[in-house]
Amino acid sequence: MGFTQNTLDFLFENRLHDSRDWFNEHKQDYKRYVIEPLSELVAELAPVMGKIDRLIICDPKRISRIYRDARYARDSVFRDEVWYTFARERPNAWAGHPGYYFSVGAGGIGYGCGYYCADGGIKEAIRKMIIGDDPVYAEAYKAVKSQRTFEMYGELYKRERFPEQPPEKRDWLNRKEYGVSFFTNDPAVMFSDKLTEKVGRDFKRIAPFYDFCMRAQELAAIKE
């Protein structure tokens, strides 16, 4: 089926109304225009993700909730986007393994790879790999530099923390979080019947970066 303008329109209107009554009246639209195409994309990407990491879970039942967490968002009920995280089993979104993600919102679609919230031990392992010229880092760096889809995300520290390192390393070392992301609101991309194929190709292209994150995870666990 794929995403259509109806997908974005529903997510925009639902957030605009921000009403459980309105949502319940249009729940079938939510299923048809948002959940069904996203579920289809997750299922179709399963073979690709399995080749990247056989432990990555691809289960449409794990698509994010459109409801906001009432504990942290008392001024609104709904988000204007939903997403799926392709990752190994983990205790919660704030801890555990890195992963890939795909999101669709009122403003467009986005996808990428990395950590949502890496702890101090993982960041330390990442920095040691970079400074030590670990081969896994070298492959990740090459994969990121050789493509034009993804950009590095993660806020930079205001003060240089590794001034003695070369510029290409400082760009990675001085980040508070680690990941790569892509966002577009181009209808030719969002509504293409080849979207899943594009996402799959991009995910495979950036797989060395995922391997880099997973290696940091393993090193941090060993230190513990």
Summarised one tens digit per residue, pLDDT across range 168-181 is: 999 999 998 899 99
Q: What is the 3-state secondary structure (H, E, C) of 184-222?
A: ECCHHHHCCCCHHHHHHHHHHHCHHHHHHHHHHHHHHHH
What's the token pair of residue 125?
């392992």
Is residue 15 a contact partner of residue 45, using CB atoms and an 8 Å limit?
no
| pLDDT score at 30 | 98
- Residue 139: give its domain's CATH number: 3.30.930.20
For the cut 80, the answer to whether the pLDDT of residue 153 exceeds it is: yes
Summarised one tens digit per residue, pLDDT across range 12-48 is: 999 999 999 999 999 999 999 999 999 999 999 999 9
Is residue 14 a contact partner of residue 30, using CB atoms and an 8 Å limit?
yes
Please state the φ and ψ torsions of residue 92, each to the nearest 5 degrees. -165, 175
Number of domains in the chain: 1
Angstrom distance (rounded) from CA 180 to CA 210: 10
Angstrom distance (rounded) from CA 60 to CA 220: 30
What is each CA distance from 144 to 19, 44, 205, in whole angstroms? 42, 24, 9
In this prediction the pTM is: 0.92
Find the range with the poorest average confidence among 74-78, 109-113, 128-132.
74-78
Q: What is the 3-state secondary structure (H, E, C) of 13-40?
A: HHHHHCCHHHHHHCHHHHHHHHHHHHHH
Range of the domain at 157: 5-223
Is residue 115 a contact partner of residue 125, using CB atoms and an 8 Å limit?
no
Q: Beta 99-105 vs 179-184: how paired, if at all?
A: unpaired
3-state DSSP assignment of residue 105 = strand
| pLDDT score at 70 | 64
List beta partners, residue 104: 82, 109
Summarised one tens digit per residue, pLDDT across range 181-199 is: 999 999 999 999 999 999 9
Angstrom distance (rounded) from CA 165 to CA 37: 45
| pLDDT score at 189 | 97
Most confidently predicted of 120-124, 159-163, 197-201: 197-201
